[in-house]
């Protein structure tokens, strides 16, 4: 699949005029607009931090407090379920070896043992209460939205994503990069099926709220390293939030089976400094820049420096 046929991109023609500048090769297929292929300034020098590893078996390295908690819960559950599994396997072995027909030709005839039954009812309940006392608060931390410092609406389409920075009137679509397009966007071959032509750009250390929806069928937006995953359902607006610890490039993939090209609508997030975020917003022609986190501090400092320079 060199380029997706137009039939795979129902949103392109409708939105192409508005977002032509973002679409690179797609723009050439749809409507007028310069093809922007070079890596935007905000993306340069970013390391890939959230990506699957070849042969990897564990969860990705956490990039948010939410994901740190998910990893902690995963390890905690492992400590609980390993002894349970060993106990059950030992009991099975014990029954198989010592209570088969030849080893134990005359089986016991009793059917009840009240103390034992109380124990094997209470023990699982207690274990579930212990697990729940950790997982339920974690669930609330994920599902209760903080005050958003950046709000982004993401819409799933068959088969690409659309993003809207609701405070800033910035909108663009995000298409998977073909193998031969990766290098010109600054990615490597191993990022095939992960990298997109445009990326969600967010500042680190700020609370990002994503509003997730879809236009045709159910899709699901996720970044594994952030510990977030949310179905986008047509006609509904769900929310997720994250606060990225470290600058870097983080990948995800649509996680709800959404049709023929489900595997070809990945997600790329660039977590950058506030300075780079504001510079990126400006490069996108953003409105209401004063609403961007840190805008006052960063831009007034720049202006101050410029003034001092002029006085010298
Ligand atoms: Cu999808």
pLDDT tens-digit series, residues 97-133 = 999 999 988 888 888 999 999 999 999 999 999 999 9
CA of 176 to the centre of ligand 1 (A): 12
Ranking 39-43, 228-232, 249-253 by mean pLDDT, the lowest is 39-43
CA of 193 to the centre of ligand 1 (A): 13
Return mean pLDDT, the chain.
86
Please give the domain boundaries of the chain with CATH numbers for all domains: 65-103+113-143 (no CATH), 148-301 (2.60.40.420)
CA of 181 to the centre of ligand 1 (A): 21
CA of 216 to the centre of ligand 1 (A): 10
CA of 119 to the centre of ligand 1 (A): 46
Q: Rounded CA gap, 301 and 292, in Å?
A: 15
Angle between helices 295-311 and 274-283 (to 10 degrees): 90
Q: Would you tell me how many other CB atoms lie within 10 Å of the CB of residue 274?
A: 17
At 307, the pLDDT band (50, 70, 90 cuts) reads: low
CA of 230 to the centre of ligand 1 (A): 12
Q: What is the pLDDT of residue 299?
A: 81
CA of 261 to the centre of ligand 1 (A): 8
Coil/strand/helix, residue 250 = strand
**Spatial CA neighbour of 216 closest among 15, 11, 27:** 11
pLDDT in tens, 59-85: 999 999 999 999 999 999 999 999 999
Cβ contacts of 299 within 8 Å, gap of 6 or more = 278, 289
Q: What is the pLDDT of residue 304?
A: 62
CA 201 to chain CA centroid, Å, is: 13
Angle between helices 114-143 and 65-98 (to 10 degrees): 160
CA of 56 to the centre of ligand 1 (A): 24
Contact 22, 172 (CB under 8 A): yes
CA of 1 to the centre of ligand 1 (A): 18
Q: What is the pLDDT of residue 83?
A: 96
Cβ contacts of 198 within 8 Å, gap of 6 or more = 22, 23, 163, 172, 173, 174, 175, 268
Rg (CA), the chain: 26
pTM, to two decimals = 0.78
Token pair of 130, please? 């212990």
């Amino acid at each position: 699949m060199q380029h997706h046929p137009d039939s795979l991109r129902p949103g392109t023609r409708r939105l192409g005029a508005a977002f032509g500048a973002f679409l690179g090769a797609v723009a050439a297929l749809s409507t007028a607009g310069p093809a922007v292929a070079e890596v935007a300034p905000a993306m340069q020098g970013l390391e890939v931090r959230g990506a699957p590893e070849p042969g990897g078996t564990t969860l990705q390295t956490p990039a948010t407090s939410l994901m740190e908690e998910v990893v902690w819960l995963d390890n905690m559950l492992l400590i609980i379920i390993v002894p349970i599994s060993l106990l059950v396997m030992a009991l099975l072995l014990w029954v198989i070896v010592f209570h088969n027909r030849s080893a134990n030709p005359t089986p016991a005839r009793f059917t009840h043992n009240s103390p034992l039954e109380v124990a094997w009812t209470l023990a699982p309940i207690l274990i579930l209460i212990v697990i729940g006392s950790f997982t339920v608060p974690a669930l609330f931390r994920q599902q209760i939205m903080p005050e958003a410092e950046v709000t982004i609406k993401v819409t799933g389409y068959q088969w690409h994503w659309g993003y809207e920075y609701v405070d800033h009137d910035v909108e663009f679509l995000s298409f998977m990069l073909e193998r031969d397009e990766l290098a010109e966007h600054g990615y490597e071959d191993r990022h095939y099926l992960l990298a997109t032509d445009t990326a969600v750009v967010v500042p680190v250390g700020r609370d990002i709220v994503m509003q997730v929806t879809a236009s045709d069928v159910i899709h699901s937006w996720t970044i594994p390293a952030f510990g977030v995953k949310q179905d986008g359902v047509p006609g509904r607006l769900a929310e997720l939030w994250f606060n990225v610890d470290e600058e870097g490039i983080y990948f995800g993939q649509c996680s709800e089976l959404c049709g023929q090209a489900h595997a070809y609508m990945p997600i790329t997030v660039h977590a950058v400094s506030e300075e780079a975020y504001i510079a990126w917003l400006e490069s996108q022609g953003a409105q209401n820049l004063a609403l961007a986190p840190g805008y006052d501090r960063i831009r007034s400092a720049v202006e101050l420096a410029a003034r001092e320079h002029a006085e010298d």
